[in-house]
Structure 1
Amino acid sequence: MLPPTGARHRIREVDSPSGTIRALLLAQERGTPMKRVPEAEAVEGQGFVGDRHGKKKPHGKRQLLLLDEASQHALRMSPGELKENVVLAGLPLESLPAGQRLALGTEVVVELTEPCVPCSKLERIRPGLLKESWGQRGQLARVLRGGTVREGDGVRLLDVNPDAPRPIRPKLP
Protein backbone atom coordinates (compact mmCIF):
# COMPACT_ATOMS: atom_id res chain seq x y z
CA MET A 1 0.00 0.00 0.00
CA LEU A 2 1.28 3.46 -0.84
CA PRO A 3 1.77 6.04 1.88
CA PRO A 4 -1.00 8.66 2.08
CA THR A 5 -0.76 11.69 -0.16
CA GLY A 6 -1.35 15.35 0.56
CA ALA A 7 -4.12 17.42 -0.94
CA ARG A 8 -1.85 18.39 -3.82
CA HIS A 9 -1.77 14.94 -5.43
CA ARG A 10 -4.78 12.80 -4.67
CA ILE A 11 -3.87 9.39 -6.00
CA ARG A 12 -6.00 6.31 -5.99
CA GLU A 13 -5.02 2.71 -6.64
CA VAL A 14 -6.99 0.86 -9.29
CA ASP A 15 -7.29 -2.85 -10.02
CA SER A 16 -5.01 -3.11 -13.02
CA PRO A 17 -2.07 -4.90 -14.60
CA SER A 18 1.29 -4.76 -12.92
CA GLY A 19 4.85 -4.89 -14.17
CA THR A 20 8.45 -5.02 -13.02
CA ILE A 21 11.41 -2.65 -13.12
CA ARG A 22 14.13 -4.34 -15.17
CA ALA A 23 16.76 -1.57 -15.15
CA LEU A 24 17.48 1.85 -13.61
CA LEU A 25 19.88 4.22 -15.37
CA LEU A 26 21.45 7.63 -14.74
CA ALA A 27 23.62 10.08 -16.70
CA GLN A 28 25.25 12.91 -14.79
CA GLU A 29 25.99 15.09 -17.82
CA ARG A 30 24.72 15.52 -21.36
CA GLY A 31 26.42 13.20 -23.82
CA THR A 32 27.76 10.81 -21.19
CA PRO A 33 26.84 7.12 -21.21
CA MET A 34 24.00 6.00 -18.98
CA LYS A 35 25.16 4.15 -15.86
CA ARG A 36 23.09 1.22 -14.65
CA VAL A 37 22.41 1.35 -10.91
CA PRO A 38 20.71 -1.18 -8.59
CA GLU A 39 18.61 1.56 -6.96
CA ALA A 40 17.82 5.23 -7.45
CA GLU A 41 16.46 8.00 -5.25
CA ALA A 42 13.57 9.91 -6.84
CA VAL A 43 12.87 13.47 -5.69
CA GLU A 44 9.39 14.95 -6.06
CA GLY A 45 9.29 17.47 -8.89
CA GLN A 46 12.87 16.75 -9.99
CA GLY A 47 13.67 13.17 -11.06
CA PHE A 48 16.49 10.86 -9.98
CA VAL A 49 19.31 12.14 -7.77
CA GLY A 50 22.50 12.05 -9.85
CA ASP A 51 20.74 12.25 -13.23
CA ARG A 52 21.14 15.32 -15.42
CA HIS A 53 17.39 15.75 -15.90
CA GLY A 54 16.90 15.75 -12.14
CA LYS A 55 18.67 19.07 -11.84
CA LYS A 56 17.55 20.68 -15.09
CA LYS A 57 14.02 22.03 -14.74
CA PRO A 58 12.31 21.50 -11.42
CA HIS A 59 8.69 20.49 -12.02
CA GLY A 60 9.37 19.99 -15.75
CA LYS A 61 7.72 17.29 -17.84
CA ARG A 62 10.96 15.42 -18.65
CA GLN A 63 12.17 14.30 -15.23
CA LEU A 64 12.32 10.62 -16.18
CA LEU A 65 12.13 8.58 -19.37
CA LEU A 66 10.39 5.21 -19.01
CA LEU A 67 10.87 2.56 -21.69
CA ASP A 68 9.06 -0.72 -22.25
CA GLU A 69 11.41 -3.73 -22.29
CA ALA A 70 9.51 -5.15 -25.29
CA SER A 71 10.29 -1.98 -27.29
CA GLN A 72 13.92 -2.16 -26.22
CA HIS A 73 14.18 -5.74 -27.47
CA ALA A 74 12.30 -4.97 -30.71
CA LEU A 75 14.81 -2.19 -31.41
CA ARG A 76 17.73 -4.50 -30.51
CA MET A 77 19.05 -2.04 -27.93
CA SER A 78 20.72 -2.55 -24.55
CA PRO A 79 19.62 -0.74 -21.38
CA GLY A 80 20.69 2.91 -21.50
CA GLU A 81 21.35 3.18 -25.23
CA LEU A 82 18.11 5.13 -25.73
CA LYS A 83 18.86 7.37 -22.71
CA GLU A 84 15.99 5.90 -20.67
CA ASN A 85 16.01 6.05 -16.88
CA VAL A 86 13.67 3.14 -16.19
CA VAL A 87 13.11 -0.05 -18.20
CA LEU A 88 9.75 -1.69 -17.39
CA ALA A 89 8.36 -5.11 -18.26
CA GLY A 90 4.76 -6.29 -18.16
CA LEU A 91 2.90 -3.02 -18.82
CA PRO A 92 1.60 -1.64 -22.13
CA LEU A 93 3.59 1.57 -21.64
CA GLU A 94 3.21 2.95 -25.17
CA SER A 95 -0.59 2.73 -24.99
CA LEU A 96 -0.95 4.55 -21.66
CA PRO A 97 -2.31 8.11 -21.75
CA ALA A 98 -0.67 11.29 -20.52
CA GLY A 99 -1.74 11.73 -16.91
CA GLN A 100 -1.50 8.00 -16.14
CA ARG A 101 0.06 7.57 -12.72
CA LEU A 102 2.27 4.62 -11.83
CA ALA A 103 3.67 3.36 -8.54
CA LEU A 104 7.32 2.37 -8.86
CA GLY A 105 8.10 0.08 -5.96
CA THR A 106 6.45 0.92 -2.64
CA GLU A 107 7.38 4.61 -2.38
CA VAL A 108 7.67 6.38 -5.73
CA VAL A 109 4.75 7.69 -7.80
CA VAL A 110 5.21 9.15 -11.29
CA GLU A 111 2.82 10.65 -13.81
CA LEU A 112 3.29 10.18 -17.55
CA THR A 113 3.50 13.55 -19.32
CA GLU A 114 3.89 12.66 -23.01
CA PRO A 115 5.42 10.14 -25.40
CA CYS A 116 9.12 10.63 -26.07
CA VAL A 117 9.50 11.70 -29.69
CA PRO A 118 12.47 10.13 -31.49
CA CYS A 119 15.14 12.64 -32.50
CA SER A 120 17.84 12.71 -35.17
CA LYS A 121 20.53 11.75 -32.61
CA LEU A 122 19.26 8.18 -32.91
CA GLU A 123 20.72 8.03 -36.42
CA ARG A 124 24.21 8.31 -34.85
CA ILE A 125 23.52 5.11 -32.91
CA ARG A 126 22.30 3.18 -35.95
CA PRO A 127 21.14 4.36 -39.38
CA GLY A 128 17.37 3.92 -39.65
CA LEU A 129 16.81 3.90 -35.88
CA LEU A 130 14.91 7.21 -35.95
CA LYS A 131 12.14 5.78 -38.12
CA GLU A 132 12.35 2.32 -36.54
CA SER A 133 11.82 3.71 -33.02
CA TRP A 134 8.68 5.71 -33.86
CA GLY A 135 5.99 4.72 -31.35
CA GLN A 136 8.50 2.72 -29.30
CA ARG A 137 10.56 5.49 -27.70
CA GLY A 138 8.93 5.37 -24.27
CA GLN A 139 7.11 7.93 -22.14
CA LEU A 140 8.33 11.00 -20.31
CA ALA A 141 7.24 11.31 -16.69
CA ARG A 142 7.41 13.59 -13.68
CA VAL A 143 7.88 12.50 -10.07
CA LEU A 144 4.83 13.12 -7.86
CA ARG A 145 6.16 11.32 -4.80
CA GLY A 146 9.82 10.67 -4.11
CA GLY A 147 11.54 7.73 -2.49
CA THR A 148 13.83 4.83 -3.32
CA VAL A 149 13.19 2.50 -6.24
CA ARG A 150 15.14 -0.69 -7.01
CA GLU A 151 15.63 -3.05 -9.93
CA GLY A 152 13.12 -5.87 -9.53
CA ASP A 153 10.53 -3.66 -7.79
CA GLY A 154 6.96 -3.96 -8.93
CA VAL A 155 5.13 -1.32 -10.97
CA ARG A 156 1.40 -0.73 -10.63
CA LEU A 157 -1.00 1.39 -12.61
CA LEU A 158 -2.78 3.93 -10.44
CA ASP A 159 -5.42 6.40 -11.58
CA VAL A 160 -5.27 8.90 -14.44
CA ASN A 161 -4.98 12.60 -13.63
CA PRO A 162 -8.13 14.06 -15.23
CA ASP A 163 -6.50 17.51 -15.41
CA ALA A 164 -3.35 16.38 -17.25
CA PRO A 165 -2.76 18.07 -20.60
CA ARG A 166 -3.26 15.71 -23.52
CA PRO A 167 -0.34 16.14 -25.91
CA ILE A 168 -0.87 15.86 -29.62
CA ARG A 169 0.90 12.75 -30.84
CA PRO A 170 3.27 13.79 -33.62
CA LYS A 171 3.09 12.09 -36.97
CA LEU A 172 5.90 10.01 -38.42
CA PRO A 173 8.31 12.24 -40.40
Structure 2
Amino acid sequence: MAFPTTPAVLAVARDGTHRFSKVPTSAITLLEGLGVQGDAHAGVTVQHRSRVRQDPSQPNLRQVHLIHAELFGEVARDGYHLRPADLGENITTRGVALLTLPRGTHLTFPSGAVVELTGLRNPCAQIDAFQPGLMRRLIGTDDAGQPVFRAGVMGVVRRGGPVTPGDEVSVTLPDGPHEALRRV
Protein backbone atom coordinates (compact mmCIF):
# COMPACT_ATOMS: atom_id res chain seq x y z
CA MET A 1 0.00 0.00 0.00
CA ALA A 2 1.40 3.40 -0.95
CA PHE A 3 1.18 6.22 1.58
CA PRO A 4 1.54 9.94 0.87
CA THR A 5 4.90 11.45 1.74
CA THR A 6 3.47 13.74 4.43
CA PRO A 7 1.63 11.92 7.22
CA ALA A 8 -1.31 14.03 8.37
CA VAL A 9 -4.53 14.19 10.37
CA LEU A 10 -7.60 13.78 8.17
CA ALA A 11 -10.24 14.24 10.89
CA VAL A 12 -10.71 14.48 14.67
CA ALA A 13 -13.66 13.49 16.84
CA ARG A 14 -14.89 13.13 20.41
CA ASP A 15 -18.07 12.20 22.22
CA GLY A 16 -18.92 12.78 25.85
CA THR A 17 -21.27 9.78 25.85
CA HIS A 18 -20.39 6.10 25.52
CA ARG A 19 -21.59 5.49 21.96
CA PHE A 20 -20.00 3.47 19.19
CA SER A 21 -19.35 6.31 16.73
CA LYS A 22 -17.95 9.68 17.74
CA VAL A 23 -18.80 13.19 16.57
CA PRO A 24 -16.39 14.80 14.09
CA THR A 25 -15.28 18.28 15.12
CA SER A 26 -12.95 21.04 13.95
CA ALA A 27 -10.43 20.41 16.76
CA ILE A 28 -9.78 18.27 19.82
CA THR A 29 -7.61 18.99 22.82
CA LEU A 30 -5.39 16.23 24.16
CA LEU A 31 -4.88 16.32 27.93
CA GLU A 32 -1.65 14.85 29.28
CA GLY A 33 -2.25 11.55 31.05
CA LEU A 34 -6.01 11.68 30.42
CA GLY A 35 -6.97 11.60 26.74
CA VAL A 36 -9.29 13.77 24.67
CA GLN A 37 -10.97 16.61 26.53
CA GLY A 38 -14.73 16.05 26.60
CA ASP A 39 -14.51 12.41 25.47
CA ALA A 40 -16.17 9.61 27.45
CA HIS A 41 -12.96 7.54 27.28
CA ALA A 42 -10.71 10.17 28.89
CA GLY A 43 -9.26 9.26 32.28
CA VAL A 44 -6.27 7.91 34.14
CA THR A 45 -8.00 4.57 34.70
CA VAL A 46 -10.02 2.51 32.19
CA GLN A 47 -13.18 4.12 30.86
CA HIS A 48 -14.38 1.47 28.40
CA ARG A 49 -17.44 -0.01 30.10
CA SER A 50 -16.47 -3.67 29.64
CA ARG A 51 -13.05 -3.02 31.18
CA VAL A 52 -14.50 -0.99 34.05
CA ARG A 53 -16.70 -4.01 34.92
CA GLN A 54 -13.58 -6.26 34.98
CA ASP A 55 -11.34 -3.96 37.04
CA PRO A 56 -11.96 -0.20 37.29
CA SER A 57 -8.46 0.42 38.69
CA GLN A 58 -6.63 -0.68 35.49
CA PRO A 59 -4.55 2.05 33.87
CA ASN A 60 -6.21 3.55 30.80
CA LEU A 61 -4.05 2.46 27.86
CA ARG A 62 -6.91 3.41 25.52
CA GLN A 63 -7.08 7.19 26.00
CA VAL A 64 -6.89 7.96 22.27
CA HIS A 65 -8.10 5.78 19.37
CA LEU A 66 -6.48 6.33 15.94
CA ILE A 67 -7.41 4.80 12.57
CA HIS A 68 -5.67 5.13 9.21
CA ALA A 69 -8.07 6.46 6.55
CA GLU A 70 -6.64 4.03 4.02
CA LEU A 71 -8.68 1.33 5.80
CA PHE A 72 -11.89 2.98 4.55
CA GLY A 73 -10.89 2.38 0.93
CA GLU A 74 -9.93 -1.21 1.65
CA VAL A 75 -13.31 -2.13 3.17
CA ALA A 76 -15.22 -0.09 0.57
CA ARG A 77 -14.17 -2.65 -2.04
CA ASP A 78 -16.33 -5.13 -0.09
CA GLY A 79 -19.29 -2.75 0.12
CA TYR A 80 -18.67 -1.22 3.57
CA HIS A 81 -18.88 2.56 3.71
CA LEU A 82 -17.00 4.24 6.53
CA ARG A 83 -16.36 7.88 7.33
CA PRO A 84 -14.03 9.37 9.93
CA ALA A 85 -15.30 8.75 13.50
CA ASP A 86 -17.70 5.97 12.43
CA LEU A 87 -15.60 3.32 14.22
CA GLY A 88 -15.20 5.49 17.32
CA GLU A 89 -11.74 6.87 16.58
CA ASN A 90 -10.59 10.23 17.93
CA ILE A 91 -7.99 10.82 15.22
CA THR A 92 -8.18 9.65 11.60
CA THR A 93 -4.79 9.79 9.89
CA ARG A 94 -3.63 9.43 6.31
CA GLY A 95 -0.15 8.40 5.27
CA VAL A 96 0.71 6.80 8.63
CA ALA A 97 1.06 3.00 8.60
CA LEU A 98 -0.31 2.84 12.15
CA LEU A 99 -0.69 -0.94 12.34
CA THR A 100 3.00 -1.52 11.53
CA LEU A 101 4.38 0.79 14.22
CA PRO A 102 5.90 -0.67 17.41
CA ARG A 103 4.61 -0.18 20.91
CA GLY A 104 5.99 3.04 22.40
CA THR A 105 6.01 4.96 19.10
CA HIS A 106 5.36 8.67 19.60
CA LEU A 107 3.08 10.59 17.25
CA THR A 108 3.75 14.32 17.55
CA PHE A 109 1.48 17.07 16.25
CA PRO A 110 2.38 20.70 15.41
CA SER A 111 1.04 21.98 18.76
CA GLY A 112 3.60 19.79 20.53
CA ALA A 113 0.96 17.26 21.62
CA VAL A 114 2.29 13.69 21.78
CA VAL A 115 0.41 10.37 21.72
CA GLU A 116 2.36 7.24 22.65
CA LEU A 117 1.04 4.06 21.03
CA THR A 118 0.13 1.35 23.53
CA GLY A 119 -1.53 -1.31 21.39
CA LEU A 120 -4.13 -2.41 18.89
CA ARG A 121 -7.82 -1.80 19.26
CA ASN A 122 -9.59 -4.96 20.25
CA PRO A 123 -12.44 -5.30 17.73
CA CYS A 124 -15.78 -5.97 19.42
CA ALA A 125 -19.26 -7.16 18.47
CA GLN A 126 -20.43 -3.54 18.24
CA ILE A 127 -18.66 -3.38 14.87
CA ASP A 128 -21.07 -5.94 13.40
CA ALA A 129 -24.01 -4.15 15.04
CA PHE A 130 -22.84 -1.00 13.21
CA GLN A 131 -22.46 -2.73 9.82
CA PRO A 132 -23.16 -6.49 9.72
CA GLY A 133 -20.13 -8.50 8.58
CA LEU A 134 -17.66 -5.62 8.96
CA MET A 135 -15.83 -7.20 11.88
CA ARG A 136 -14.59 -10.07 9.73
CA ARG A 137 -12.94 -7.47 7.46
CA LEU A 138 -11.22 -5.90 10.47
CA ILE A 139 -9.78 -9.19 11.74
CA GLY A 140 -7.67 -11.14 9.31
CA THR A 141 -4.87 -13.67 9.57
CA ASP A 142 -1.21 -13.41 8.69
CA ASP A 143 0.89 -15.97 6.82
CA ALA A 144 1.41 -17.91 10.06
CA GLY A 145 -2.33 -18.10 10.73
CA GLN A 146 -2.18 -15.55 13.56
CA PRO A 147 -4.96 -12.96 13.90
CA VAL A 148 -4.32 -9.50 12.46
CA PHE A 149 -6.39 -6.74 14.05
CA ARG A 150 -7.03 -3.81 11.70
CA ALA A 151 -9.50 -1.64 13.68
CA GLY A 152 -6.89 0.96 14.61
CA VAL A 153 -4.45 1.61 17.40
CA MET A 154 -4.72 2.97 20.91
CA GLY A 155 -2.49 5.38 22.76
CA VAL A 156 -1.96 7.56 25.80
CA VAL A 157 -1.34 11.29 25.85
CA ARG A 158 2.25 12.08 26.89
CA ARG A 159 1.97 15.82 26.14
CA GLY A 160 -1.23 17.77 25.74
CA GLY A 161 -2.31 20.25 23.09
CA PRO A 162 -4.76 20.79 20.26
CA VAL A 163 -5.01 18.55 17.18
CA THR A 164 -6.84 19.65 14.03
CA PRO A 165 -7.52 18.22 10.58
CA GLY A 166 -4.60 18.99 8.28
CA ASP A 167 -2.00 18.80 11.06
CA GLU A 168 1.15 16.96 10.04
CA VAL A 169 2.06 13.89 12.10
CA SER A 170 5.67 13.23 13.07
CA VAL A 171 6.45 9.59 13.87
CA THR A 172 9.26 8.77 16.35
CA LEU A 173 10.10 5.11 16.91
CA PRO A 174 11.17 3.96 20.39
CA ASP A 175 14.77 3.05 21.18
CA GLY A 176 15.94 -0.51 21.53
CA PRO A 177 14.29 -3.67 20.31
CA HIS A 178 10.82 -2.94 18.97
CA GLU A 179 7.79 -4.70 20.42
CA ALA A 180 4.87 -5.29 18.08
CA LEU A 181 1.54 -3.79 19.03
CA ARG A 182 -0.82 -6.22 20.76
CA ARG A 183 -4.48 -5.86 21.70
CA VAL A 184 -5.13 -3.57 24.64
Is the TM value for this pair above 0.5?
A: yes
CA contact (8 A) 1:100 1:161 kept: no
May I ask how many residue pairs the two structures share in their alignment?
Answer: 154
* Residue in structure 2 matched with residue 7 of structure 1 by the alignment: none
3-state SS, counterpart of residue 160 of structure 1 = coil
Aligned to 1:154, the other structure's residue is in SS state: coil
Whether the 8 Å CA contact 2:9–2:91 is kept in 1: the answer is yes
Deviation at 1:32, TM superposition (A): 6.4
Higher strand share: 1
Residues 107 and 149, structure 1, Cα contact 8 Å, conserved in 2? no
- Does the aligned pair in 1 maintain the 2:68–2:97 contact within 8 Å? yes
Task: Tell me, yes or no, if the aligned pair for 1:67 and 1:137 is still in contact at 8 Å.
Answer: yes
SS of aligned partner of 1:53:
coil
- 2:8 maps to which of 20, 38, 42: 20
Report runs of 4+ in structure 1 exceeding 6 Å deviation: none
1:159 positional shift: 3.0
Choose the corresponding residue for 1:49, options 32, 37, 41.
37
Report if the CA contact (8 A) 2:102-2:173 is conserved. no
Partner of 1:65: 65
TM-score, structure 2 as length reference: 0.75
Q: Structure 1: where are the runs of 5+ without partners?
A: 1-16
Cα shift at 1:74:
1.9
- Residues 168 and 152 (structure 1), Cα distance of their counterparts in 2 relative to 1, 3 Å cut: closer
Alignment partner of 1:79 is 2:84? yes
- Partner amino acid for 1:111? E
Go from structure 1 to structure 2 and tell me whether the alpha carbon gap of 1:109 and 1:94 turns closer, same or farther (over 3 Å shift). same
With normalisation by structure 1, the TM-score equals 0.79
Instruction: Give yes or no for the alignment of 1:140 onto 2:154.
Output: yes
> Runs of 5+ in structure 2 lacking a partner?
47-58, 76-80, 140-148
Distance 1:50 1:120, change over 3 A: same
